[in-house]
Structure 1
């Protein structure tokens, strides 16, 4: 089923209204439902007021608490799954400020132990040189650019935390996309080679000739097994539903089997860096 951005925006409100309607239809007060669900009454109130995003388990408990029939359970659980998905419009993110986005990412990275990144067309800021970062945000307001470059570079410190594990899968297009001058591109690729030697970082590359997918591709990131994002040129979709996150983990694992790692990856990176130096 295709999910439209407007549908994502409305889904939380619709789910909250439906759960409140079902409680009232069952003749239950918030206190009585809370007891049936082993939740606090304040949590029920926040869910019904759309002030708290309920997990799928929360929704299942509430549906059992109101004795909802199977057809209603199926309908509401479908709504809950959509509500677990968030659309982030790229233009809205720019209006909000790229610096605020960097703070959000830094907080997410602090709370994550295992990171998985599939990079389709460009290198991520965590792996980028200052020149590459600056060119990647050239369309941002000039007053933000210096600050955002500095924040992106500060975020790279997370790579030094040996308690965290990183796997980056980059297509050849992502590695070789000529965002900066040839000399700067060679240095950017050299950085990938250097980081691939770090014990808690795995960098895999997928050369052009490798057929590793029969489905449309998008850049995506996975944080542990609790949250994932898919990025497009229009914005990003954030998934919190465990089934959706698991689906992306499975896809990532499949891509890994086709990627070159270690010495094989470094040979390819050296070849591509040399092509920019010639």
Structure 2
């Protein structure tokens, strides 16, 4: 049985006409997407094997997608819908649903309730599986680079909803830093001048933190760059984000973290990192900048 023409498949009742981005409901959207793709395939008369051939995918991948065990990328969904010749309205609706399903929001309030140390284990797992990590840091030094004193100041925020027991989290964060010495992994940390000079701690602690950045930048698998305010930039440094290879990007906000898996979102952040990287100081220039900032923190105040 051949696939019906585009007009033969109508939008499914289980899929909303308008999809709004609500990251906390991404799990439900993932299951709705799986059911919709499975129902569309069955309505077309195609077997999973024939659909897999048309999409140039394995049959097992099609099965995992339809059962909700594998999250398809937006590109995967687009390939399936093209193979099924769905109508334009259904196509747009399911692609929007796929974008929502590929977005996850981790609420900082939930992290505090669970215990901040769980977050450190999640990060350690991401760092353990990735081989090339890129960190864009417009406001603060990130955990892998922090001294214990800076770390405690960064985690012990005096405002809600971020307040929580940080003792175990600090210990696990320090343990995570061992990954920097794994020669099979590459790290690139790009800080703005604001992140370097933002006085989160007392000046001596800030000076020690910058000295640590200089020291870590000499590791063969670690690059630390600085975006100085003197550079002409056409893009503002809006968010902290981390790229794990080309598979996942996390974006930090005041109230939580957004996890993006859509290849288009990842490619956009790769381009952003490259844009700022090309306009930054690296190597000896970066180290000279950091040492000068450290000396400024140590300069006696009147």
TM category, shorter: 0.7 to 0.9
Shift of 1:10: 4.8
> Residue 218 of structure 1 aligns with which residue?
239
Contact persistence 1:33–1:66 (CA under 8 A): no
> Residue 36 of structure 1 aligns with which residue?
51
Q: Is 1:273 aligned to residue 294 of structure 2?
A: yes
Deviations 1:190-213 (A, max 9, x none): 001111111111111112222324
SS in 1 for 2:273: helix
Deviating more after overlay: 96-105 vs 72-81: 72-81
Alignment map for 1:147-186 (pairs within 5 Å): 147-186=168-207
> Residue 193 of structure 1 aligns with which residue?
214
Deviations 1:207-257 (A, max 9, x none): 222232434611111011111111110211111111111110011001011
Contact persistence 1:89–1:235 (CA under 8 A): yes
Partner Cα distance (1:12, 1:234) in 2? 23
Shift of 1:8: 4.3
Partner Cα distance (1:195, 1:113) in 2? 18
Q: Which runs of 5+ in 2 are unaligned?
A: 1-18, 53-57
Closer, same or farther in 2 for the Cα pair 1:170/1:238, shift >3 Å? same
Q: Aligned residue pairs: how many?
A: 272
> Residue 135 of structure 1 aligns with which residue?
153
Closer, same or farther in 2 for the Cα pair 1:10/1:216, shift >3 Å? farther
What TM-score does the superposition give when structure 1 sets the normalisation length?
A: 0.87
> Residue 260 of structure 1 aligns with which residue?
281
Q: Which runs of 5+ in 1 are unaligned?
A: none
Higher radius of gyration, 1 or 2: 2
Partner Cα distance (1:9, 1:211) in 2? 42
> Residue 81 of structure 1 aligns with which residue?
99
Alignment map for 1:97-116 (pairs within 5 Å): 97-116=115-134
Q: Is 1:54 aligned to residue 72 of structure 2?
A: yes
Deviating more after overlay: 5-14 vs 187-196: 5-14
Deviations 1:7-47 (A, max 9, x none): 6465324323422442453356xxx3355324239x63x54
SS in 2 for 1:205: strand
What TM-score does the superposition give when structure 2 sets the normalisation length?
A: 0.81
Partner Cα distance (2:171, 2:223) in 1? 25
Contact persistence 1:176–1:272 (CA under 8 A): yes
Partner Cα distance (1:191, 1:208) in 2? 22
> Residue 117 of structure 1 aligns with which residue?
135
CA RMSD of aligned residues (A): 2.5
> Residue 250 of structure 1 aligns with which residue?
271
Closer, same or farther in 2 for the Cα pair 1:128/1:176, shift >3 Å? same
